[in-house]
Amino acid sequence: MTATPLLGNNLTSWMPESASTLAPRVDAAYSLMLAFTSLVFLVLVGSAIFFVIKYRYRGLPQVTSAGSGSLLLHLSWALIPGIMLVLMFQRGLENYADATVAPGNAIDVQVNVDEDGLHYDIVPSSVKADELVVPLNQPVKLTIHGGDAAKTFAIPAFRTSASTNETGVATLWFEATQAGEFDLWCTAGCSDDLIVSQVSALGDDEYGTWLDNNAPGSDLPLPEYGKMVFAEQGCVACHSDTGDQAGKACPPLGGQFGTQRTFVDGSNATMDEAYVKESIFKPNAKLVKGFQPVMPAFEGRLRERQIDGLVAYIKSLK
**Entry field: residues in the chain:** 318
Is 180 inside any structural domain? yes
- Express each pLDDT in 206-215 by its tens digit: 998 888 888 8
Is 57 inside any structural domain? no
The pTM is what? Answer: 0.69
- Express each pLDDT in 248-259 by its tens digit: 899 999 999 999
pLDDT at 72: 87
How far is Cα 142 from Cα 136, in angstroms, rounded to an integer? Answer: 15
Is 130 inside any structural domain? yes
Domain of 299, CATH number, reads 1.10.760.10
In terms of pLDDT, which residue wins out, 26 or 318? 26
Rounded-to-10 torsion of CA 126, 130, 131, 132:
50
Is 175 inside any structural domain? yes
Asked if residue 3 has pLDDT above 70, the reply is no
- Express each pLDDT in 40-76 by its tens digit: 899 999 999 999 998 887 776 766 666 677 888 888 8
Q: What percent of the chain has pLDDT over 70?
A: 92
Which residues constitute the domain of residue 103?
Answer: 1-45+75-215
At how many degrees (to 10) do helices 304-316 and 204-214 cross? 50
